[in-house]
Amino acid sequence: MTREIKIGVVGCGYWGPNLIRNFRSLPDCSLKTMCDTSEHRLKHLRTLYPEVEGLTDYDSMLDGSDLDAVVIATSVKLHYPMAKASLLAGKHTFIEKPMARSSHECEELIEIAHKKGLVLMIGHTFLYSQAVKKIKEIVEHGDIGEIRYICARRLNLGLFQRDINVAWDLAPHDISIILYIMGEAPIGINCQGTAHITPGVEDVTVMNLLFHRERSAIIHSSWLDPRKIREITIVGSKKMVVYNDVEQQEKIKVYDARVDKPPHYDTFAEFHYAYHYGDVYAPYVKQEEPLKSECQHFLDCIRHGSSPLTSGKRGLELVRILEASSESLKKGGARIDLVH
């Protein structure tokens, strides 16, 4: 009989309860502890999960709960110190995105996990989405031709953060998807933004990731939009894909549309672009909660000693991009080259 993996979740605010719900539902997992500084939040969660211990002290959770793994869903400023303490205590560690506040912090966590032989996984949830996996499959099969550019929009009204700007809060989702689909890291970045509500904390940003072969990706992030928009458009040389995560059923639509560059002509009057408009189809996507798949993947990696799809290395790569975006913001949108 397979031994249950004992899990503790720290951070019971916005996202933590979703992690608690999913880990508790998995058959090969035992959710032992919920930890938060707010007694009010713990009281509510204990009414839902009375068998799970509730603690307000993180050190007590690490020292006295006999856990195999810790899941960290706190504010970003606490990711590094809590993850470091968890790893040093010999616990496999799952950190919500972004991994930490700096690439230096990420590198230290990766090194500790490696030395201790522990699984370090980052919560880039959308890479566990069946829709994103289907898009990756479509791209790899060559159905849309060569990717020309990707445009991502992640907009809503709130939730405002105080310790990170909107690029650090929302863009990680889109960056992780874009890197997964592109299959490579960007070589440069520009980022511009404005702080309308809280001085020094940009609530609207536009990021431009530059890739080899003149490919690019635009990421628009906002806490100030009246509608919730979660949309990514992938423009290929043959076809185009639109991924709308807000849609309940047809999340992906493939458009048989393109523009072809004309051959050489002697006069401007003879110069015409060829526009192609074909059918639109929505491929079947299995309905499955990405977060549940992500939680199961963490358990599988612990059990088999394997490296996660969203490893610490991927978390570091993403934080380096976010650091470069902050540098570009300070320089008025100047291009920042990325060294790999």
Q: Map residue 137 onto helix, strand or coil.
A: helix
Asked if residue 290 lies in contact with residue 97, where contact means CB atoms within 8 angstroms, the answer is: no
Domain ranges of the chain: 5-126, 129-289+321-337
List the chain pLDDT tens, one digit each, 340 residues: 568 999 999 999 999 999 999 999 999 899 999 999 999 999 999 999 999 999 999 999 999 779 999 999 999 999 999 999 999 999 999 999 999 999 999 999 999 999 999 999 999 999 999 999 999 999 999 999 999 999 999 999 988 888 899 999 999 999 999 999 999 999 999 999 999 999 999 999 999 999 999 999 999 999 999 999 999 999 999 999 999 999 988 999 999 987 777 666 665 555 567 777 778 999 999 888 999 999 999 999 999 999 999 999 999 999 999 999 999 999 999 999 998 6
Rounded Cα gap, residues 319 and 321, in angstroms: 5
Residue 43: HSE in the Cβ half-sphere, 13 Å Cα cutoff: 3
| Predicted structure pTM score | 0.93
Asked if residue 223 lies in contact with residue 158, where contact means CB atoms within 8 angstroms, the answer is: yes
| Candidate CATH numbers 3.40.50.720, 3.20.20.10, 3.40.50.300, 3.40.980.10; the one for domain 5-126 | 3.40.50.720
User: Rg (Cα) of the chain, in Å, rounded?
Assistant: 22
Q: Going by DSSP bridges, is the β-strand pair 336-337/274-281 parallel, antiparallel, or unpaired? A: unpaired
Where do the H-state alpha helices sit in the chain?
Answer: 16-25, 39-48, 58-64, 76-88, 103-116, 130-140, 166-182, 290-304, 312-330
Asked if residue 319 lies in contact with residue 97, where contact means CB atoms within 8 angstroms, the answer is: no
Q: Which residue's entry shows tokens 């590198």?
A: 107
Q: Which residue's entry shows tokens 């500084």?
A: 37
Q: Map residue 95 onto helix, strand or coil.
A: strand
Query: Within a 10 A sphere around the Cβ of 313, how many other Cβ atoms?
Result: 15
Rounded Cα gap, residues 213 and 230, in angstroms: 27
* Structure confidence at residue 258 (pLDDT): 79
Q: Give 188's strand partners.
A: 210, 337
* Structure confidence at residue 104 (pLDDT): 98
At 224, which helix (H) or strand (E)? strand 224-236
Q: What is the largest CA-CA distance in the chain?
A: 81
Q: Which residue's entry shows tokens 């051959």?
A: 263
Q: Which residue's entry shows tokens 């110069």?
A: 271
Structurally, what CATH architecture does the domain formed by 129-289+321-337 represent? 2-Layer Sandwich (3.30)
- Residue 311 DSSP symbol: B
